[in-house]
Amino acid sequence: MDLKKLGLSALMIAAVSSTTFGTAANAVAKPGSQLINFEQAGTEATRYLVDYIKIDTSNGPGINPTGNEKAGADFLASILKANGIEATVFESAPNRGCVYARLKGNGKKKAVILLSHIDVVPAKGENWLHGPFSGEIHDNELWGRGTLDMKGMGIANLETMLLLKRSGRTLDRDVIFLGTADEEMGGAMGAKWFVDHHPELVKDAEYLLTEGFYIDSADDGKARYWGIDVAEKNLLWLKLTAKGAAGHASMPIANSAPNRLARALQKLVDSPVKPIILPEVRDYFKSISVAEKGQLKAAFADIDAAVKSPETLKSLQKDSIKAAMLQNTYSLTIIKAGYKTNVIPTEATAELDCRLLPTVNPDDFVNEIKGIINDPQVEVTKLDWIKAEPSPFNTECIETIKAVAAKEAPGVPVVPVIIPWFTDSHWFRDLGITSYGFLPFQINQKGIATVHGINERIPLDEFKNGIRRLYLMVEKLCTTK
Ligand SMILES: [Zn+2]
């Protein structure tokens, strides 16, 4: 990767973009958002995103070199520095690293962190219509791995820093920009590394904003709701071990280890779903019911009643994200037994990836699994348990997002979402920082399917809208009128 070239183009863009506030801003010492030319800011950010996409920061099994996030961190730091914002790159491992910058406020309120991850999941170029690291623009859409997850928001965070800096406004809070490595593989060399090695740089924060949910778009292009990730399902990995006598396969053993395991697994995969309605989930369905029609509207409005009907529950489960909010889940991922076709082995094992709703105790869940299996000869052990506290939905930050949404999208509700997957939020929730996951872009189901899939791209109009929305949220959160 030609970093020098990237750095130079960033500098050139910075020079061009110093007019983002227009001539009116020059006449006023401390302009507010009404004086920002968001069209110009969007164009500037688009050029940054094109260059950022071209830096291949693939992170996944078998990828060598892994991540290469330092190149991304250096790129982001170079733009910050060119715009007069001090930025530091921390190397967590060779070629890997995090970028950190802070706009100082007057200390009236605690800081807010704008967090994004620099790495992306790998992409096989031959399956894409336009190269995943090309940064090409076609039909007003910017193509590339990371445009949605999450280099697009990384650049929106960056542009927010630049606009705040250029505005010269007095901030009530410090605004921290943090770009991390390794999110896609769990964060050991990224967010975890950063909070372990430099907790002093983030621990004064009250809020953190990062990816999570998004503005849900109907197929007709209308926004259904702004979904804010307030909690993520907790991860529990379990191992099932069945033991039995060894023998020659010509003389079957009814209770052999593989047979016991097969029976246990059969019971698990056949076990009916037990819905659990958490208060946040009840609020979520009630809020989004306004955008629905007919049976779905009625079901969402009274989700407790809806899940009692097996038919309605079945239809709700067709939407895997919504279904995941209504239940603990387990997926059978690994099965192992035997080494030779004619030998009955003494041990057979399986692994389950379980995702538990917040408030569910892992030991209670293990007991539930044991109850379903109902065979004391099959041992159930915990391999891993990662838990994060949910963030409340009645904070100044949420009120701020609601206020911006009311102006940007009148009548579109802002709702709490429990997401079934993981982000880096939990590392910061562990430090007591209230964390929200919200991509400020309106995305439909087709768009979401490209995340970790093929042909990931972002409509440029939506990218620019997202920059305006994010800036307005952060400005409102950090400035008094
Ligand atoms: Zn992501």
Q: Ligand 1 centre and the CA of 422: distance in Å?
A: 9
Q: Ligand 1 centre and the CA of 118: distance in Å?
A: 9
Segment among 130-144, 174-188, 311-325, 392-406 with least mean pLDDT: 311-325
Q: Which residue has the tokens 């994004």?
A: 116
Q: Ligand 1 centre and the CA of 117: distance in Å?
A: 7
Please give the model's pTM, rounded to 2 decimal places: 0.86
Q: Ligand 1 centre and the CA of 29: distance in Å?
A: 38
Q: Ligand 1 centre and the CA of 150: distance in Å?
A: 5
Compute φ and ψ for 253, nearest 5 degrees: -115, 115
Instruction: Find the radius of gyration of the CA atoms of the chain.
Output: 25
Best CA proximity match to 65, nearest among 97, 98, 87, 89: 97
**pLDDT band for position 135 (50/70/90)?**
very high
Under 8 Å between Cβ of 423 and 436: no
Q: Ligand 1 centre and the CA of 166: distance in Å?
A: 29
- pLDDT digits over 288-328, tens only? 998 888 888 999 999 999 999 999 988 888 888 899 999 99
- pLDDT digits over 362-400, tens only? 999 999 999 999 999 999 999 999 888 899 999 999 999
As a whole number, the mean pLDDT across the chain is: 91
Supply 381's token pair. 């052990």
Q: Is the dihedral of CA 140, 135, 448, 42 positive or negative?
A: negative
Q: Ligand 1 centre and the CA of 180: distance in Å?
A: 11
**Three-state SS for 112?**
strand
Other beta carbons within 10 angstroms of residue 170's beta carbon come to: 12
Which structural domains are found in the chain, ordered by start?
Answer: 3-233+389-478 (3.40.630.10), 234-385 (3.30.70.360)
Q: Ligand 1 centre and the CA of 8: distance in Å?
A: 28
Spatial separation of the C-alpha atoms in residues 385 and 355, rounded to whole Å: 10
Q: What is the pLDDT of residue 51?
A: 98
pLDDT at 4 > cutoff 70: no
Q: Ligand 1 centre and the CA of 146: distance in Å?
A: 8
* Residues at Cβ < 5 Å from ligand 1 ion: 149-150, 211
Q: Ligand 1 centre and the CA of 344: distance in Å?
A: 44
Spatial separation of the C-alpha atoms in residues 183 and 185, rounded to whole Å: 5
Best CA proximity match to 82, nearest among 11, 18, 12, 155: 11
Q: Ligand 1 centre and the CA of 171: distance in Å?
A: 28
Q: Ligand 1 centre and the CA of 182: distance in Å?
A: 10
Q: Is the dihedral of CA 67, 70, 73, 74 positive or negative?
A: negative
Q: Ligand 1 centre and the CA of 183: distance in Å?
A: 7
**Three-state SS for 68?**
coil
- pLDDT digits over 237-262, tens only? 999 999 999 999 999 999 999 999 99
> For residue 79, which amino acid is it?
I
Q: Ligand 1 centre and the CA of 33: distance in Å?
A: 28
Q: Ligand 1 centre and the CA of 193: distance in Å?
A: 17
Q: Ligand 1 centre and the CA of 478: distance in Å?
A: 25
Q: Ligand 1 centre and the CA of 149: distance in Å?
A: 4
Q: Ligand 1 centre and the CA of 447: distance in Å?
A: 14
**Angle between helices 151-167 and 38-54 in degrees, nearest 10:** 140
Spatial separation of the C-alpha atoms in residues 167 and 35, rounded to whole Å: 9
Best CA proximity match to 336, nearest among 322, 323, 348, 344: 348
Strands 347-356, 234-243: parallel, antiparallel or unpaired by DSSP? Answer: antiparallel
**pLDDT band for position 34 (50/70/90)?**
low
Q: What is the pLDDT of residue 21?
A: 58
Spatial separation of the C-alpha atoms in residues 157 and 271, rounded to whole Å: 44
The percentage of the chain sitting over the pLDDT mark of 70, rounded to a whole number, equals 93
Longest dimension (CA), the chain: 93
Q: Ligand 1 centre and the CA of 184: distance in Å?
A: 7
Segment among 79-88, 150-159, 380-389, 462-471 with least mean pLDDT: 380-389
Q: Ligand 1 centre and the CA of 381: distance in Å?
A: 30
Best CA proximity match to 189, nearest among 257, 116, 94, 114: 94
**pLDDT band for position 20 (50/70/90)?**
low
Q: How far apart are the first and last CA of the chain?
A: 44
Q: Ligand 1 centre and the CA of 476: distance in Å?
A: 25
pLDDT at 7 > cutoff 80: no
Supply 345's token pair. 């082995």
∠ CA 89-434-289, nearest 5°, is 120
